[in-house]
Amino acid sequence: MEKNTKKLTNLDQIGEFGLIELITKDFEIVNDSTELSVGDDAAILDYKRDKSIVTTDMLVEGVHFDLSYFPLKHLGYKSVVASISDICAMNGITKQITVSIAVSNRFKLESIQELYSGIKLACKRYNVDLIGGDTTSSLKGLVISVTAIGIPAKSGHVTRGGSKHNDLVVVSGSLGGAYLGLQVLEREKQVFLVNPNSKPDLSNYKHVVERQLKPEARNDVIDFFIENKIKPTSMIDISDGLSSEILHLCKNSGLGCRIYEEKIPIAQESLDTCEEFKLEASTIAFSGGEDYELLFTIDSKDLEKVENDPDLSVIGHMTKESDVNLITKGGKTTPISSMGWKSF
């Protein structure tokens, strides 16, 4: 028998987005109701009278979370927030979720109840209904999959690919905190492994630890758009890091951009933590994920409306060129490359 000598491809060679593009490229859209499919934060379904936004996120133990320092209640809350954030990134409002879990036999009933108490808290916080899901066994660890269903705001849904030349690039909140919170928790875990009797003092890290363990989806920014009659030209949520997300907006819009380092919002506690860990704050803002802030572009005529909100920061503008550049604090122009979270 002739031996198959064809070389196989490792997933890390192609990456998450390359994999998604490859495995979905031959799927044809056969239903008129499928307005937008694979390639954005969520899909858009158009049933003539109403449109729906649908997205799914999966969290895997050992890959996305470590239960040695991640309370199950917080994990349940965060798993819902991650999916709601994707709906927000489409200029949408989440209405329902389904939750599916796979659990190994090391988990007891009380553990699952604790997980779902966090899911319930998130549903209450964001006015979302839990309408179904699935439960099954796992050979090892815990897997959580959340599907969120929403509707576009009255101004309509927003994709990653609608920005125009000279549009302003805006980000909500502050960046890098979630990554730094993870570094603090990982450090304390190592201390505990050496000395199980030690009790971590996280009082100086409240902001960054909360950003990691209990993030919030920015539905308040969607409310701001509605109140101020703003419709972003493109939008994405920052789950994989600023560098990765701005590259998505540029690629999907067929444009470049100029981002100004001095304009990137970083909280003081994050700056202090960077100094302690000897990390460069701007690098963390670009490469750290799970902030779940919104990155979006707007027409320059809406600048004044955005400037009046202290929680929104204009960090750059879109250009005709395809180059994606950072203007450093020293005035140097340097290309932005994807430094964010990689799934494989």
- Distance between CA atoms of 154 and 231, rounded to whole angstroms? 10
Residues 186 and 148 in one domain: no
- Reported as a pLDDT band with limits 50, 70 and 90, residue 190 is very high
Residue 102 lies in a domain: yes
- Distance between CA atoms of 131 and 128, rounded to whole angstroms? 9
Sheet-wide strand order for 43-46: 34-36, 43-46, 51-60, 142-152, 92-103, 129-137
Question: Last residue of a domain, which of 152, 187, 215?
Answer: 152
Sign for the CA dihedral angle at 183, 186, 192, 198 comes to: positive
- Distance between CA atoms of 13 and 7, rounded to whole angstroms? 13
Number of domains in the chain: 2
Note whether 287 and 241 are within 8 A (CB): yes
Sign for the CA dihedral angle at 58, 61, 67, 70 comes to: negative
Note whether 42 and 140 are within 8 A (CB): no
Range of the domain at 252: 168-335
- Distance between CA atoms of 332 and 93, rounded to whole angstroms? 40
Question: Last residue of a domain, which of 122, 152, 182?
Answer: 152
Residue 192 lies in a domain: yes
What confidence score (pLDDT) does residue 254 get?
A: 95
Residues 172 and 148 in one domain: no
Residues 40 and 179 in one domain: no
Question: Last residue of a domain, which of 107, 125, 152?
Answer: 152
Q: Taking all residues of the chain, what is their mean pLDDT, rounded to a whole number?
A: 90
What confidence score (pLDDT) does residue 344 get?
A: 39
Residue 246 lies in a domain: yes
List CB contacts of 174: < 8 A, sequence separation 6 or more: 265, 266, 267, 270, 291, 293
Higher-pLDDT residue of 343 and 177 is 177
- Reported as a pLDDT band with limits 50, 70 and 90, residue 251 is very high
- Distance between CA atoms of 23 and 20, rounded to whole angstroms? 5
What confidence score (pLDDT) does residue 34 get?
A: 76
Pairing of strands 142-152, 256-260: unpaired
* Mean pLDDT, range 37-57, rounded to an integer: 77
Residues 198 and 326 in one domain: yes
pLDDT at 49 over 80: no
Amino acid at position 74, single letter: H
In tens, the pLDDT along 153-173 reads 999 999 999 999 999 999 999
- Distance between CA atoms of 187 and 192, rounded to whole angstroms? 9
Residues 193 and 254 in one domain: yes
Residue 222 lies in a domain: yes
- Distance between CA atoms of 132 and 109, rounded to whole angstroms? 19
- Distance between CA atoms of 295 and 126, rounded to whole angstroms? 20
Q: What is the CATH number of the domain that holds 272?
A: 3.90.650.10
pLDDT at 111 over 60: yes
What confidence score (pLDDT) does residue 39 get?
A: 67
Q: What is the CATH number of the domain that holds 141?
A: 3.30.1330.10
Stretch among 8-12, 82-86, 220-224 having the lowest mean pLDDT: 8-12
